[in-house]
């Protein structure tokens, strides 16, 4: 199972989505890079109809 990473706040205040996903079985952060076997595993998991869990909201950022 996988989980989205929280959006990052840029110095200009803009929120941007991470270009990686967290693998829950071991806590590994898997970059979105088609050359990586771990990312290929994630794509296969998605193709099977799965969806990642939403990102945890960082404390103090619930109202961003």
Every domain of the chain and the residues it spans: 2-47
Instruction: Give dist(CA 20, CA 3) in Å, integer.
Output: 10
Stated pTM of the model: 0.81
pLDDT (0 to 100) of residue 27: 97
The CB density around residue 41, as the number of other CB atoms within 10 Å, is 13
| pLDDT tens digit at each of 64 positions of the chain | 999 999 989 999 999 999 999 999 999 999 999 999 999 999 999 999 999 999 987 665 554 4
Segment (H or E) for 22: strand 20-23
Helices (H) and strands (E) in the chain, counts: 1, 5
Asked whether the beta carbons of 21 and 42 are under 8 A apart, the reply is: yes
Asked whether the beta carbons of 39 and 47 are under 8 A apart, the reply is: no
């Amino acid at each position: 199972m996988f989980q989205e990473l929280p959006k990052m706040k840029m110095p200009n205040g803009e929120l941007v989505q991470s270009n990686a996903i967290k693998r829950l079985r071991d806590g590994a952060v898997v970059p979105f890079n088609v050359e990586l076997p771990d990312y290929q595993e994630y794509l296969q998991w998605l193709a099977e109809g799965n969806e990642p869990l939403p990102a945890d909201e960082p404390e103090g950022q619930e109202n961003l």
